[in-house]
Structure 1
Amino acid sequence: MPVTILRLACAWATVVAFLLFGDALLGRLGEPVMAALVFAWLLGVIIWAAFGVVHEAEVLAGRLGEPYGTLILTLSIVIIEVALISAVMLGAKGAPTLGRDTMFAVLMIVLNGVVGIGLLVGGLRHFAQSYNMKGASSYLAVIIPLTVIPLVLPNFTTSTAEGTLTVLQSVSFSVFTLALYGAFLVLQTGRHRSFFVEPTREQAPPVRSAPHGRAPDPDEIEIVEDDGHEDPGGSTWSHVLLLLATILPIVILAKSLAVVLDFGIARLGAPVALGGILIAMVVFTPECIAALRAISANQLQRAINLCLGAAASTLGLTVPAVLAIGLFTGQEVVLGLSGANMIILAMTLLLSTLTFTGTRTTMLEGAVHLSVFFVFLVLVFSP
C-alpha cells in the first residue's frame, strides 16, 4: 500500500505541476537538455502509473476470475492508448496516420513480439503449454475482421483517396466495429465465459519440462496453481477506485507527452510511424510484462487473454475513436496500411491462426513470431 500511495502522489503531483507550469516547460523544448528532462519525467511517471494500473487490475483479476480480470486490464490500457492518440491528433492536427500506425504497432508488439518471447520462455520452462483453444479461436475470429476492414479495405475503396474513407464509410465502419466488439464482450463474459478460462486436465493436460530434453511421460503431467500475485486486502470497490485514480493522471498527462513526442520526432527527422510505435510501447509495456509473467507461471490462457484481448480491444475502441475525431475536427484520417505492412499483417494473422489452433504451444511457434516482429522493426527504419 505505501508504494501505491507514493505512486499516486507522484502521478498527481506531476499533473498539478503541468497544469500550473506546463506552458513554460513545453515552451522550452527547443533546448535539448530541457526537452530530454521533460520527456524522461513524463515518460517515467506515465509508465510507473501504468504499472499501478496493472497491479490493481491483477488484484481484481484474482477476485473476479477470468475473463473479467484480463478484460479490466486490457480495457484500462486501451483507454490510456485512445487518450494518447486523441491528444496527439487534437494537438498536432497533422497526424493523419497516427491511429493507423499505433494500431498496427500494437498488433505487431502483442501478436509477434510478446507472443514470440512468451512462447520461447514458456517452452524453455515448461516444454509445452496448454490453453483453451475455443477461447483463442474466438479472439482470432473477431480480430481478423476488425483488422482487415479498417487497415486493409480502405486501400481498395474507390470513393476517396487511397487509405481513407468517406463519411458514410467512417460512420458505418465505426458502428460495425463497436457492435462486433460489444457482442464479443457480451459472449465472453456471458454464455461463452468457459472458453476463456484455463483448460481442465481432460481438455488439454498441461505438460512440464522433462529432463535431458526428453518428451514427458503422462505420469509427469503437472498443473501449476500459482496465481502469480498476492491479494493486498481491502474491499473490491477500493481497488476499483484506485484503478480509476491511477488511470486518470495518465490520461491528463497524455496531452503533454504528445506535444513532446511530436516535437521530438519532427526535430530528429525520425520516421512518422515511430510516433505510433512509441505510444504503443509506452502504453502496453506493463501489460506485456504481465503476460510474460503469466506465461512463466504456466498460465498461458491468461497470457492469451491479455495479448489477444489487447489486440481486439485496441481495434474495437481505437478505430471508432480515431474516425470520430476525424469527422468532428475535419482532419484527414488515413487507415490503409502500405503494401509491405499489409503483407506483414497477413502473415501475422495467418501465423496466429496456425499457432492457436492446437491445444499446446512450443518454442518453434515463438521463434517464428519473433522473426516476423524483427522484420517489422527493420521496415520501420528502412521501408
Structure 2
Amino acid sequence: MLALALSWGRTPPTALAVLVALFLAGSVLAAVHHAEVVAHRVGEPFGSLVLAVAVTVIEVALIVSLMISGGDKAATLARDTVFSAVMITCNGIVGLSLLFATIRRRVAVFNAEGSGGALATVTTLATLSLVLPTFTTSKPGPSFSPAQLAFAAVASLILYGLFVLTQTVRHRDYFLPVNSSGTVIEAEEHAAAPTARRALISLGMLLIALIAVVGLAKVESPIIEKVVIEAGLPPAVVGVVIALLVLLPETLAAVRAARRDRLQTSFNLALGSAMASIGLTIPAIAIASIWLSGPLTLGLGATHMVLLALTVAVTTLTVVPGRATLLQSGVHLVLFAGFLFLAVSP
C-alpha cells in the first residue's frame, strides 16, 4: 500500500516500474493466502464467492477509472477486459486446474450439476452483453442503445443474483467438492478451521491486498500501453494484460485447490469469476455511461465470437460428464493459447 501511495498518479521510470511489479506479485500472493484462510473458515462455496466478488468489484472500479481518463481511446476497454476475463477463466484457469488435478489422479471428478448451471449462466451473460450488440440495429456500430444497455444491465444483475442464491442457499451441495466415488466433501479433513478472529483479520487483509493488486496494476497500465504501442500490438492487448493481472489471485487459488483434489472449488473460482466479471461490470458500465461522454463499444468481432462459441462448446463437453482427463486440460489450454496469439496477431 505504501508503494501504491508513492507511485499513484505517476508514470514510474523503468527501475521503479520493476519494483512496483515485484510489490504487485507480492500482493497477489498475499491475496491468495488470505482468501484461503477466509474460505477455510466459511467453507465452500462461500469461500470461492468471497474471492470472485471481491476481485471483480475492484476490477470494475479499475475499468471505470481507466475509461474516465482514457476518453474515446477507452471505448473498447470494458469489452476487451470482460471478454479476456471470460477466456482466461473458462480456458486458462479451467485448463490449468484440470492439468494439476489429472497429473495426480488420472481422472479428475467434480459436480456436473453445479458447474453446468454456472456455465449456462456465463454463456447467457456473455451472449446478452458481448454478442448481441454486434447485431442490434437501434444504434450504429457494435453498441447498445441506452434502453438496450439498461436491459442488459438489469438482466445481468438478476441472473447473477439468482446464481448466488442457488449456489449459497437453495442448492449449496451442487457446488461442494466431491471425491472419486462422487461423495460430497463438506470440509477439509486434515486441518482445523481458523478462528473467527483470524478469519476477520484475513478478510480485512484480503481487501487491502486486492486494492493493492488493482491499484498497482493501474500504475503499471501506462507502461503497458506504452510497450504495446511501441511494439505495434493491437490496443486490445491492454485489456488482456489488465485481465491477466487482476485474475492472478483466482488463478493461483484455483491451481492450489486442484492440487488438493478440490477441482470443484477450482471450477467455482473460474466460472464464478467469469460470471461476476460480466454480471457486475455491465451494470457498473451502464451507470457510468450516464456521465461518460465517450462511445461505448461492447460487441465482439467475428474472430472473438468464434472463440467464444468454441469455448462454450468445449467447456460444455468438459462439464457434462462430471469427469475429466488430461485431454480436456490440453484442449482448454490450446484454446487459451489461441486466444493469446490472436490478441497479439489478429
| TM-score, normalization by structure 1 | 0.83
Cα deviation per residue 1:238-272 (whole Å; 9 max; x = unaligned)?
A: 22222223233345445433333334333443211
Question: Which of the two has higher C-alpha Rg?
Answer: 1
Aligned position for 2:2: 13
Once the two structures are TM-superposed, the CA of residue 103 in structure 1 deviates from its matched residue by: 1.3
Q: Which runs of 5+ in 1 are unaligned?
A: 1-11, 207-222
Aligned position for 1:74: 52
> Structure 2: how far apart are the matches of 1:307 and 1:246?
20
Equivalent of residue 62 in structure 1, options 23, 34, 40: 40
> Structure 2: how far apart are the matches of 1:321 and 1:302?
27
> Structure 2: how far apart are the matches of 1:291 and 1:174?
28
Q: Does 2:76 align with 1:97?
A: yes
Cα deviation per residue 1:64-104 (whole Å; 9 max; x = unaligned)?
A: 10111011111122123223222321222221111111111
Conserved? CA contact 1:167–1:327, under 8 Å: no
Aligned position for 1:157: 136
1:172-251 counterparts in 2 under 5 A? 172-199=151-178, 203=182, 231=194, 234-251=197-214
Q: Does 2:258 align with 1:282?
A: no
Conserved? CA contact 2:214–2:246, under 8 Å: no
Conserved? CA contact 2:134–2:143, under 8 Å: yes
Once the two structures are TM-superposed, the CA of residue 119 in structure 1 deviates from its matched residue by: 1.6
Once the two structures are TM-superposed, the CA of residue 334 in structure 1 deviates from its matched residue by: 0.8
Q: Which runs of 5+ in 2 are unaligned?
A: none
> Structure 1: how far apart are the matches of 2:332 and 2:192?
28
Letter of the structure 2 residue corresponding to residue 304 of structure 1: F
Sequence identity (%): 34
Once the two structures are TM-superposed, the CA of residue 237 in structure 1 deviates from its matched residue by: 2.2
Q: Count residues in correspondence.
A: 345
Letter of the structure 2 residue corresponding to residue 149 of structure 1: L
Letter of the structure 1 residue corresponding to residue 164 of structure 2: L
Aligned position for 2:293: 330
Conserved? CA contact 2:131–2:300, under 8 Å: yes
> Structure 2: how far apart are the matches of 1:189 and 1:245?
25
Q: Does 2:345 align with 1:366?
A: no
Letter of the structure 1 residue corresponding to residue 29 of structure 2: F
Once the two structures are TM-superposed, the CA of residue 233 in structure 1 deviates from its matched residue by: 8.2
> Structure 2: how far apart are the matches of 1:346 and 1:188?
25
Cα deviation per residue 1:267-297 (whole Å; 9 max; x = unaligned)?
A: 4432111101111111112211211121121
> Structure 2: how far apart are the matches of 1:342 and 1:229?
46
> Structure 2: how far apart are the matches of 1:262 and 1:240?
32
42-51 vs 344-353, greater mean Cα deviation: 42-51
318-327 vs 125-134, greater mean Cα deviation: 318-327
Equivalent of residue 315 in structure 2, options 345, 349, 352: 352
Letter of the structure 2 residue corresponding to residue 274 of structure 1: V
Q: Judging changes above 3 Å, is the alpha-carbon distance between structure 1 residues 84 and 227 closer, same or farther for their aligned structure 2 residues? A: farther
> Structure 2: how far apart are the matches of 1:228 and 1:58?
12
| TM-score, normalization by structure 2 | 0.91
Once the two structures are TM-superposed, the CA of residue 134 in structure 1 deviates from its matched residue by: 1.1
> Structure 2: how far apart are the matches of 1:187 and 1:205?
17
Aligned position for 1:141: 120
Once the two structures are TM-superposed, the CA of residue 231 in structure 1 deviates from its matched residue by: 4.6
Cα RMSD, aligned residues only: 2.5
Equivalent of residue 106 in structure 2, options 103, 121, 127: 127
